[in-house]
Chains A and B, each alone.
Chain A
Amino acid sequence: MSTNEFNSTPITPELVKEHGLNEEEYKLVLDIMGREPNINELGIFSVMWSEHCSYKSSKKWLKTLPTKADWVIQGPGENAGVIDIGDGQAAIFKMESHNHPSFIEPYQGAATGVGGIMRDVFTMGARPIANLNALRFGEPEHPKTRHLLSGVVEGIGGYGNCMGVPTIGGETNFHASYNGNILVNAMTVGLADVDNIFYSAAAGIGNPVVYVGSKTGRDGIHGATMASAEFDDDSDEKRPTVQVGDPFTEKLLLEACLELMATDMIVAIQDMGAAGLTSSSFEMASKGGVGVELWLDKVPMREEGMTPYELMLSESQERMLMVLKPGCEDAAKAIFDKWELDFAVIGKLTDTKRMTLMWHGEVAGDLPIDPLAEASPEYDRPWEETPKQDRIDPASLSGKISHVDALKTLMASSDLASRRWIWEQYDHLVMGNTIVRPGGDAGVVRVSGTNKGIAATTDCTPRYVMADPVEGGKQAVAEAYRNLCATGAKPLAITDNMNFGNPERPRIMGQFVGACQGIAQACITLDFPVVSGNVSLYNETNGVGIMPTPAIGGVGVISDLGHHATIAIKRDDSALIMLGAATGELGQSLYLKTIEGREEGAPPPVDLDAEKRAGTLVRELIELGLIRTCHDIADGGLLVAVSEMCLAGNIGADLHLPESGSEVAWLFGEDQGRYVIATRDPDKVLNAANSSNVAAAIIGQAGGDAISIDGKNKIGLAELRDLNEGWMQSFMADAT
């Protein structure tokens, strides 16, 4: 292809539309360029201004999220967030969606989502030490659900297991609103030294721009644009835009990058994720305030005949772009040679503040950097508040089912059934530092060579967010906070993965705005800032959107692993104590949905001050060694929480009903800010709660091999375990 050819492709209105740019945006393109763009340049505008890369609908609201705390080293805006965890070490983490590709090709979509998020973390100099995920699938009865679940889990495992990074936690929901748009959100937590963190701002005019990793192929071209549009019935045809992952190459890339990072040769580094070479080169140049000249014919290519357009837009995986200090090329190349990876100098930094694309000595494109990277369109989209719903009155329940039958139904439901089938397919033990395995409140890994632990969790209750975006946003953050406290970890920061429908609909935009408001309130009160995140909009098929799903990934630190808690009741535990006030909130509860068939009502309100007091108390009790058993009360309410603790420890319990009030609301209400703890020292716990101004009550005794309520409504643990473990096993039997 010669320069003439680049310029001979006519830029028609249809071509502009195919590139996802509307008329106004194209006018802005013409203004910025001062002329008609050529096809290469149009492609670059298309991906850079896609919703996925530019955050044009969400930016206004993301800016309102709290991002600061004393321990935050790097907030949003880099590849991942960085927090100080003491002793000169930092935790680097982020969660990112791969929703659209995973629906089209579940194995590769999920696998490359995991690969991408790990690159975001190790590009900053951190070794990944834990993976988590947050998954949403359609209703179990939907014909695609089993196939998608099977492929996604295999893809996550296939990539993470091969990388040798333990997958220590996550969450999975099923709901009809995800029938046409599943959500696959992957999170990675990495560990780095505070004084050896790498950033993406390019610097040093004349410094070499270096490409490392896999060769570039034609896969994933326009993936970012695809991820910024709704689906329709023909979405399967988009399969070629899904990338193909190679975890072995990424493992080599990880080791090679960390080896290079131990030297002093790197100025800046950025992984090539969505929008590939385009996005990485523009971001590095924009952040550093420099220009770049790229020699595209020097890019390692997987196939012959590739064009500049394809090279700039390819989303081939396992690639990195670096700026090296001058004269370091040979020494750096030797490291990549050892790991048998491509290494190519493909350009240099200039003082032009322009991106100049060269192709065999001819100019294939020439664009100003800042207007593209920084001055992308930003919309203040109209939004509508979600109408509030009434609180559910327990008197409105049919009450035709016994408590034990309700428990059995809930524990065997798709919402609460054990996820063991999923997490046993993930290597959750590799690295030898897994202290709390999946299936509890948060996963915990030890910081190698220390007695310190990092706890991590992913949380969101979409049905709450749907009913009340503000309360739901608060709840997602509060639950992450609670899950960390329940292990004994001090919650430090979150990453948010905002999954919503089409923001051009005011109702959907209102969900986004409300969720941001709720998240912000919770972050402030709980001192739990946002340090990284990702937005996935247009999760709609044929005009039907998903439930709003702002998935929160929380990270905390346990200073001494000698004092941590798990959900399993231990042999010496006697009394069960509920911390936090029981108010009997049945709105949007799983009891109401599963037993009464009603998905309605106001979700449980979140009292953030009470949340903070209870969380602080729980951590103190764990640090003092007064408790080793703790579980938060969430989906399904108190009886479900106690059942999970009994099953995990294989020890039964008898609960004592309060003297008055609705039994169902007490047993199954999903009131927030609560924990169940088990202890041999109830008096000390009650006293501590009293002085911390946290409601506390003994609710039962541990022991035996059954769960009962005041001696009645008895069910054996073996039977309950079969129900709880059996649902997903049989649901997924022979799934392909």
Chain B
Amino acid sequence: MKSAVILFPGINRENDAIAALEQATGTKPTVVWHGETELPNVDIIMVPGGFSYGDYLRCGAMAAKSPIMRAVADRAKAGVTILGVCNGFQILTEAGLLPGALMRNASLKFICKNTHLKIENTTSRFTNQYGKGDVVDYPVAHHDGNYFADEDTLNRLEGEGRVVLRYCDANGNVDPATNLNGSQRNIAGIINEQGNVLGMMPHPENAIDPLHGGIDGRGLFKSMVEAVS
């Protein structure tokens, strides 16, 4: 199983992504520099978190115009599994591979903490290892994770089962009190129409080792491996 991690200037969670992919696939992923125009032949592509281009202009806006993103878009069209986490999610929305936008957190502050997430779709290629209604615990670390889309888009996402993760409490309650950052409908992660691209704000790659305080994130990587093998 082969995977790749895309590296833009300012990305800083690439090693976390590499560790998680290596743990799940058994092979170290290839790191692809943003200035490249071609991708190696891989089963999984991950766009990791960080501050690509310093988050200047808008989070992810400049990275979305990088040469490599054309190749990523082609692979998305071809059905390759693509995971964007945090800044990666922002880049995928700016690149038009996922709908909506990530705005500043409602608190206007950076938030780094563990949060509970409800698995809303257990058949996606990112969540097939989880059970219906499962509540998982991943950390978040972001300043701009407040998901926004217009009502029609939101209704469509819901109707098509494309809302994969929502912020909730330990019992799975999804309500304004458990909405970490002001996201519409507590949305933490969505997939594209084809179901092969997931964008999410929380960091499953930081919940893969008992020393992290939990291993709930392993399921997400294992799901991708199961789906493509």
Q: Which residues of B contact A1 (CB under 8 A)?
A: none
A561 near B211 (CB under 8 angstroms)? yes
B-contacting residues, A505-528, CB 8 Å: none
Alpha-carbon distance A561/B54, docked complex (angstroms): 34
Q: Which residues of A contact B208 (CB under 8 A)?
A: 432
* A435 adjacent to chain B (CB < 8 Å): yes
Per-residue contact bits, chain B 191-229, to A (CB 8 Å; 1 contact, 0 not): 000000000000101101101110000000000000000
Residue of A nearest to B54 (CB): A248
B203 near A429 (CB under 8 angstroms)? yes
Alpha-carbon distance A432/B13, docked complex (angstroms): 8
Residue of B nearest to A157 (CB): B110
* CB contact under 8 A between A161 and B51, given known A248-B56, A432-B212: yes
- For A161, A423, A426, A431, the residue with the greatest tally of chain B CB atoms inside 10 Å of its CB is A161
Number of contacting residues on A, CB 8 A? 31
Q: Which residues of B contact A429 (CB under 8 A)?
A: 112, 139, 141, 203, 206
B-contacting residues, A128-167, CB 8 Å: 154, 157-158, 161-164
B16 near A431 (CB under 8 angstroms)? yes
* CB contact under 8 A between A247 and B54, given known A424-B113, A432-B15: yes
* CB contact under 8 A between A340 and B9, given known A424-B111, A425-B109: yes
Q: Which residues of A contact B10 (CB under 8 A)?
A: 162, 248, 251-252
* B66 adjacent to chain A (CB < 8 Å): no
* A428 adjacent to chain B (CB < 8 Å): yes
* A687 adjacent to chain B (CB < 8 Å): no
A162 near B15 (CB under 8 angstroms)? no
Q: Which residues of B contact A162 (CB under 8 A)?
A: 10, 12, 51, 54-55
* A448 adjacent to chain B (CB < 8 Å): yes
* A446 adjacent to chain B (CB < 8 Å): yes
Q: How far is the CB of A676 from chain B (nearest CB, A)?
A: 22
Q: Which residues of A contact B16 (CB under 8 A)?
A: 430-432
Q: How far is the CB of A658 from chain B (nearest CB, A)?
A: 36
Q: Which residues of A contact B109 (CB under 8 A)?
A: 154, 425
Q: How far is the CB of B103 from chain A (nearest CB, A)?
A: 18
B-contacting residues, A553-575, CB 8 Å: 561
Residue of A nearest to B49 (CB): A430
* A246 adjacent to chain B (CB < 8 Å): yes
The residue from B19, B55, B141, B212 contacting A430, defined by CB atoms under 8 A apart: B141
The residue from A248, A437, A448 contacting B53, defined by CB atoms under 8 A apart: A248
A446 near B211 (CB under 8 angstroms)? yes
A-contacting residues, B28-50, CB 8 Å: 49-50
Residue of B nearest to A438 (CB): B112
Q: How far is the CB of B81 from chain A (nearest CB, A)?
A: 21
* CB contact under 8 A between A432 and B51, given known A163-B12, A424-B111: no
A432 near B111 (CB under 8 angstroms)? no
| Count of chain A to chain B residue pairs whose CB atoms are closer than 8 Å in the complex | 82
Per-residue contact bits, chain B 7-23, to A (CB 8 Å; 1 contact, 0 not): 00110110110010000
A425 near B110 (CB under 8 angstroms)? yes
Q: How far is the CB of B34 from chain A (nearest CB, A)?
A: 11
Alpha-carbon distance A164/B112, docked complex (angstroms): 13
Per-residue contact bits, chain B 52-65, to A (CB 8 Å; 1 contact, 0 not): 01111000000000
Alpha-carbon distance A430/B140, docked complex (angstroms): 10
A252 near B212 (CB under 8 angstroms)? no
Q: Which residues of A contact B205 (CB under 8 A)?
A: 432
- For B12, B113, B143, the residue with the greatest tally of chain A CB atoms inside 10 Å of its CB is B12
The residue from B51, B139, B143, B206 contacting A247, defined by CB atoms under 8 A apart: B51
* A339 adjacent to chain B (CB < 8 Å): yes
B12 near A251 (CB under 8 angstroms)? yes
The residue from B15, B53, B111, B143 contacting A431, defined by CB atoms under 8 A apart: B15
A427 near B54 (CB under 8 angstroms)? no
Q: How far is the CB of B146 from chain A (nearest CB, A)?
A: 16
Q: Which residues of B contact A431 (CB under 8 A)?
A: 13, 15-16
Q: Which residues of B contact A248 (CB under 8 A)?
A: 9-10, 51, 53-56
Number of contacting residues on B, CB 8 A? 30
A430 near B54 (CB under 8 angstroms)? no
Q: How far is the CB of A442 from chain B (nearest CB, A)?
A: 16
Q: Which residues of A contact B203 (CB under 8 A)?
A: 429
B9 near A251 (CB under 8 angstroms)? yes
Residue of A nearest to B19 (CB): A432
Residue of B nearest to A247 (CB): B54
Alpha-carbon distance A436/B141, docked complex (angstroms): 17
Alpha-carbon distance A51/B188, docked complex (angstroms): 51
B141 near A435 (CB under 8 angstroms)? no
B112 near A435 (CB under 8 angstroms)? no
- For A162, A247, A252, the residue with the greatest tally of chain B CB atoms inside 10 Å of its CB is A162
The residue from A164, A427, A448, A561 contacting B110, defined by CB atoms under 8 A apart: A427
Residue of B nearest to A434 (CB): B212
Alpha-carbon distance A431/B19, docked complex (angstroms): 10
B-contacting residues, A92-118, CB 8 Å: none
Residue of A nearest to B13 (CB): A430
A427 near B9 (CB under 8 angstroms)? no
* CB contact under 8 A between A164 and B13, given known A424-B112, A429-B206: yes
B-contacting residues, A204-261, CB 8 Å: 246-249, 251-252
Residue of A nearest to B14 (CB): A164
Q: Which residues of A contact B51 (CB under 8 A)?
A: 161-162, 164, 247-248, 251
Q: Which residues of B contact A157 (CB under 8 A)?
A: 110
A161 near B15 (CB under 8 angstroms)? no
B15 near A448 (CB under 8 angstroms)? yes
Q: How far is the CB of B105 from chain A (nearest CB, A)?
A: 10
Q: How far is the CB of A45 from chain B (nearest CB, A)?
A: 37
Residue of A nearest to B53 (CB): A248
B112 near A428 (CB under 8 angstroms)? yes
Alpha-carbon distance A665/B139, docked complex (angstroms): 41
Q: How far is the CB of A448 from chain B (nearest CB, A)?
A: 7
The residue from B12, B112, B206, B211 contacting A426, defined by CB atoms under 8 A apart: B112
Q: How far is the CB of A83 from chain B (nearest CB, A)?
A: 23
Residue of A nearest to B17 (CB): A432
Q: How far is the CB of B217 from chain A (nearest CB, A)?
A: 10
Q: Which residues of B contact A158 (CB under 8 A)?
A: 110
Alpha-carbon distance A162/B16, docked complex (angstroms): 15
Alpha-carbon distance A427/B16, docked complex (angstroms): 13
Alpha-carbon distance A431/B9, docked complex (angstroms): 16
Residue of B nearest to A252 (CB): B9
B-contacting residues, A422-466, CB 8 Å: 423-432, 434-435, 437, 446, 448
Q: Which residues of B contact A340 (CB under 8 A)?
A: 9
Q: Which residues of B contact A561 (CB under 8 A)?
A: 211
Alpha-carbon distance A429/B13, docked complex (angstroms): 10
Q: Which residues of B contact A163 (CB under 8 A)?
A: 12
B-contacting residues, A312-359, CB 8 Å: 339-340
B211 near A435 (CB under 8 angstroms)? yes
Q: How far is the CB of B85 from chain A (nearest CB, A)?
A: 12
Q: How far is the CB of B7 from chain A (nearest CB, A)?
A: 10
Alpha-carbon distance A442/B222, docked complex (angstroms): 33
Q: Which residues of B contact A448 (CB under 8 A)?
A: 15
Alpha-carbon distance A249/B53, docked complex (angstroms): 9
Q: Which residues of A contact B49 (CB under 8 A)?
A: 430
Alpha-carbon distance A587/B110, docked complex (angstroms): 39
A-contacting residues, B113-164, CB 8 Å: 113, 139, 141, 143
B110 near A161 (CB under 8 angstroms)? yes
Q: How far is the CB of B31 from chain A (nearest CB, A)?
A: 12
In the complex, 10 of the A-B residue pairs with CB atoms within 8 angstroms, ordered by the A residue number, are A161-B143, A247-B54, A248-B9, A248-B53, A252-B10, A424-B111, A425-B109, A431-B15, A437-B213, A561-B211
Chain B residues proximal to chain A, CB less than 8 Å: 9-10, 12-13, 15-16, 19, 49-51, 53-56, 109-113, 139, 141, 143, 203, 205-206, 208-209, 211-213
In the A-B complex, the 7 residue pairs with the smallest Cβ-Cβ separation, listed nearest first, are A164-B12, A248-B54, A432-B16, A162-B51, A427-B141, A425-B110, A427-B112
Chain A residues proximal to chain B, CB less than 8 Å: 154, 157-158, 161-164, 246-249, 251-252, 339-340, 423-432, 434-435, 437, 446, 448, 561
* Further pairs besides A428-B112, A437-B213: 9, Cβ < 8 Å: A162-B54, A164-B13, A164-B50, A248-B51, A248-B54, A426-B110, A431-B13, A432-B212, A561-B211
